[in-house]
Amino acid sequence: MKTKINTPNSQLMRLGDFLTFKTEYITIENDVEYELVTVKLHGKGIIPRETLYGSQIKTKKQQVIKHNQFLVAEIDAKVGAFGIVPRELEGAIVSGHYFLYDIDSNKVLPDFLACFVSSGILTQEIQEFVQGSLNYAAIRPNNILDIELSIPNDKNEQKNIVNQLAEIRRMQRAAERQLEATTALEKNLMRQIFKAKNHEE
């Protein structure tokens, strides 16, 4: 099962052609503060979770994440728990239940990969690799590397696609705000009408 995103002057690539799996750990020190993160489901990004002293962290072997790395949650990958590390979260830590990959930006822009992640296609593609019981079904690091997609050879074209998708999302957010406003207006009008009728009775 392969999904191909066909664009002019593109080539079919394995994610393994531009992702490198990293396994570097640090030892947590009790008197140092560390930032922890959460990888949101459905490809919706990575956000801060909490800041703890090392003495509060039970697992002393952790991984340090870096800006523009690709981060995958081992167990929740099946529901889209992966994303690109934003600049503001560089230096945060994750446990060994996360997979970290360096991105070769000479081949693919991290923002372009982020668009692929948020599309839901990667979540669909990874399902064939999920193994284990329902609650603990997980993938292995090499499974991500076997996924294929078509990528424009020209990074300017990759950037154009990123910008186009960003504009579409901006329009979607504007439409959602407009819908919320009109829904609130409708409810307010209905309250005024029904209250007025109640007073007349």
* CB neighbour list of residue 56: distance below 8 Å, 6 or more residues apart: none
* 49 plus 130 within the same structural domain: yes
Read off the pLDDT band of 8 (50, 70, 90): low
Cβ neighbour number for residue 38 with a 10 Å cutoff: 14
Measured distance CA(54)–CA(31) in Å, rounded: 6
Q: What is the token pair recorded at 150?
A: 């078509």
Distance from CA of residue 121 to its chain's centroid?
12
How far apart are alpha carbons 76 and 70 in whole angstroms?
Answer: 15
Q: How confident is the model at residue 197 (pLDDT cuts 50, 70, 90)?
A: low
- Residue 4 within a domain: no
Same domain, 17 and 82: yes
Nearest partner of 22 among 100, 103, 92, judged by Cα: 100
User: Are 197 and 123 in the same domain?
Assistant: no
- 107 in the same domain as 48: yes
User: Higher confidence at residue 196 or residue 21?
Assistant: 21
**What's the pTM value of the predicted model, to 2 decimals?**
0.80
Same domain, 133 and 183: no
User: What total of structural domains would you count in the chain?
Assistant: 2
Residue 58: domain span: 10-153
Same domain flag for 76 and 138: yes
Last residue of a domain, one of 119, 138, 153: 153
Instruction: Read off the pLDDT band of 99 (50, 70, 90).
Output: very high
For the segment 103-147, what is each residue's pLDDT rounded down to a tens digit? 999 999 999 999 999 999 999 999 999 988 777 788 999 999 999
CATH of the domain at 29: 3.90.220.20
The contacts of residue 5 (CB under 8 Å, 6+ apart) are: 116, 121, 149, 150, 151
